[in-house]
Structure 1
């Protein structure tokens, strides 16, 4: 699969070229368009797998796009305006916020893993995704994407994390020395990222953006 990322960083679009018989898997709803020789198959991967993806914030179904009789083109995008990146899976494995996953090549296995109740209350979600296998994975963000090289310990707001290398340990915790200070700060919980590896962060927080826009909307009429 050849991936070209167009219109970065604010309106990114992933253009995927597939050789005959080649496939790409994508989150339901990510499709923008495709050539007429691309066939679509919808699959859940089993009820339990599908339910776990729903709990992770994904849709129950994931679509497979396959080129037939020639080279095929598929276009993917994210629901909110922002950037996209292609991560190589194999020598490096990744953990991904469920909202950041867009698509992946067939040999990349995307599993659901629990981030614990603390992750749920932090706004990061009760489940995240982790990869296995080898290939490419496309992630998307709200706002710009930036890759940080962690060497030791950094602290990131949970709403700004897109993906992190599996060599990194992520621990949800308070942003001040006391829980009262954390509550009064209005920042909520943060993620303490420790180890050596790559961390992808997004410049905007979708939850806070939604709250800011919602506060400016006129009340619904009964």
Structure 2
């Protein structure tokens, strides 16, 4: 496969017959609909690239999120199977949580391309371990990784955790690629010792070790103190293990909410500011 001149390979890893490459399209020149030109101009001003994941297989396998595939070529077999003993459990879990029931597995020798994305792509290496990621962040993984669901089982976590009923569990040895809400440079890794806790106000603990326990607790010692503190209920993460935080995510969410409120005026104001 020959890359166009506008594509840059920003990251490349090889493992177990798989070459994982992150492609960046930094200069988009194919817009033909005039309605999209202002947004395209803003993307160029902000230097926001479009990213794509390319996986080159040599007698290997990868698993993709359902709907993430753009194309594949070569001697590739596609499977959408679940071991028989797990089918009923997965069907029930999927119906309750909205978690994907099937994730296609691509095996053989060839190239697999995902759909282009605006999100940042974050490779994560696993060595006989488990990590938990927010629902919706999983994009792809090597065939040796088992993709499942991590259910928040406590009542307080289900009602007030802000993370949804189910997160995604990745277990095994290999690599995974996540659709990160922020670039790697804006993630903070915190290592918790056994019994050490961390309180987080908001859903920006995007990734954690499988050994880290998740619950929901009061921000103060009493319920009255919690009510008047302005913080409400907090996500409590208890070690041992690592937690990756995205502290700037609320800022970006605020920008997006403001833009939706302003509508077309937000684009016009940003474009006007760019010209000054």
Q: What is the TM-score when the length of structure 2 is the normalising length? A: 0.62
Query: Offset of 1:164 from its aligned partner?
Result: 0.5
Pairwise CA RMSD of aligned residues? 3.4
Matched, 1:198 2:258: no
Structure 2 residue runs without a partner (length 5+): 1-17, 26-47, 265-276
Residue matched to 2:37: none
What CA deviation, in whole Å up to 9, does each residue of 1:88-142 have, x standing for no partner? 2234321222222222222211222321332232220112232333222222222
Within a 5 Å distance, the mapping from 1:63-74 to structure 2 comes to 63-68=104-109, 71-74=110-113
Residue matched to 1:136: 175
Structure 1 residue runs without a partner (length 5+): none
Query: Offset of 1:176 from its aligned partner?
Result: 4.3
Residue number among 116, 121, 124 corresponding to 1:84 in the alignment: 121
Alpha carbons 2:129, 2:172 under 8 Å: kept: no
Matched, 1:5 2:22: yes
What CA deviation, in whole Å up to 9, does each residue of 1:52-81 have, x standing for no partner? 24544433321112234xx32333566xx3
Query: Offset of 1:35 from its aligned partner?
Result: 3.0
2:67 partner SS: coil
Query: Offset of 1:7 from its aligned partner?
Result: 3.6
Q: What is the TM-score when the length of structure 1 is the normalising length? A: 0.75
- Could you say which structure has the higher helix fraction? 2
- Give the greater-gyration-radius structure (CA): 2
Within a 5 Å distance, the mapping from 1:88-127 to structure 2 comes to 88-116=125-153, 117-121=155-159, 122-127=161-166
Change over 3 Å in CA distance of 1:35–1:182 after alignment to 2:
farther
Change over 3 Å in CA distance of 1:55–1:10 after alignment to 2:
farther
Change over 3 Å in CA distance of 1:97–1:147 after alignment to 2:
same
Residue matched to 2:209: 165
Alpha carbons 1:5, 1:85 under 8 Å: kept: no
Total equivalences in the alignment: 213
Alpha carbons 2:128, 2:172 under 8 Å: kept: no
Change over 3 Å in CA distance of 1:157–1:11 after alignment to 2:
farther
Alpha carbons 2:139, 2:177 under 8 Å: kept: yes
Q: Following the alignment from structure 1 to structure 2, what is the Cα–Cα distance between the partners of residues 208 and 119?
A: 24
